[in-house]
Amino acid sequence: MKTNWELLAKYLHGECSAEEITEVEMWLQQSVKNQALLNSLKQYKAKPKQFPVVNFDEFKEKDWQRILAKVSDKGHRINPWYNTYFKIAASITFLIMSLGLVYYLAVRSEPFMIVETSNATKEVWLPDSTYVVLNKNSKLEVMKPYNLKERKVKLNGEAYFQVRPNKQAPFSIESHSLTTTVLGTTFNIKAYSDSAINVSVEEGRVLVESANDRAVLSKEMSVKYTHRKLIIDSRYNSNQLAWKTGIIRFENESIQYVVEFLSEHYDRKVSISTEKAHDQKITVELKQLTLEEALEVITFTLDLNFRDSPEGFEIY
């Protein structure tokens, strides 16, 4: 079924009959492109339109003089009636072209899908069957046109991606100052701010680019963007996916690093108040535990204690 623009217009304005609604629903089921198109039309219809202010007097005079000069050079005589007619036609043509350009640029620059999270993670399936899990306090914008020559999204926060392979439409993620480009792979991006961005690859290869640097990452590699530099780490840190898997592993790590990681992961301050703990290291695996349960395991292993307070947990 070809795109029936008149029918879609009636559908968007709630003027379809039951048979026409069924026809639109059948059209939607034919492809994800149709679904994306309808979503785009809905979002564009819902937004107030702003058009440029055009000085037609200035346009008509300036452009008419240019047309008049060209015609006069050929020795033709201009009828006054045609003079007025061509001025009006030129003005209308210019208006149509201006409004068309504004609409085209607005449609291309707007996302057709926005997903945001606050206090919980969220699973998202993109139109090309790419799978995304958004961490808490994150925002994903899917830009149009999607899945034609490119697949472009914007991320503010943290997300885990399983990108469906498509060599004809590379997948790219803008996250503040970084752009990560892939063809099909599994990776994690943490980009809550521009000062510290992490990209870690679970499978496949990705290209990470900033304004003045670039890095190619393969399986079990990661890169950190800080102070406008990319720092590659060839060691795989599975804890970067702990927010998704619920599994935290420490292998011969200092208690100071453990405390810093737990504070960030659980969003609750953990501190150390005893000199006894500062030189200790620990190897442990924590699976699906609350912060209090994790601290019980860690302090028992290191022969320490902990207590809860309004400021957070304290290890002593």
Which of 3-7, 73-77, 172-176, 205-209 is predicted least confidently? 73-77
CATH number at residue 214: 2.60.120.1440
Q: How far apart are CA 316 and CA 313, in angstroms?
A: 10
221 and 144 share one domain? yes
User: Within a domain: residue 50?
Assistant: no
Spatial contact of 151 and 164, defined as CB atoms under 8 Å apart: no
Query: Is 231 among the domain residues?
Result: yes
Q: What tens digit of pLDDT does each residue of 226-277 get?
A: 888 899 887 778 888 899 999 999 999 999 999 999 999 999 999 998 888 8
Question: Which of 31-40, 46-55, 143-152 has the largest mean confidence?
Answer: 143-152
Q: Which domain holds residue 76?
A: 56-109
The structural domain count of the chain equals 3
**Helix (H) or strand (E) segment spanning residue 181:** strand 178-182
**Nearest CA among 261, 221, 255 for reference residue 239:** 261
pLDDT of residue 243: 92
pTM above 0.75, yes or no: no
Indicate if 133 and 217 belong to the same structural domain.
yes
User: What confidence score (pLDDT) does residue 56 get?
Assistant: 45
Q: What pLDDT sits at residue 59?
A: 47
Question: pLDDT per residue over 140-192, tens digit each?
Answer: 999 988 888 889 999 999 999 999 998 889 999 999 889 999 977 899 999 99
CA distances, 90 to each of 87, 103, 162, 175 (Å):
5, 20, 51, 44
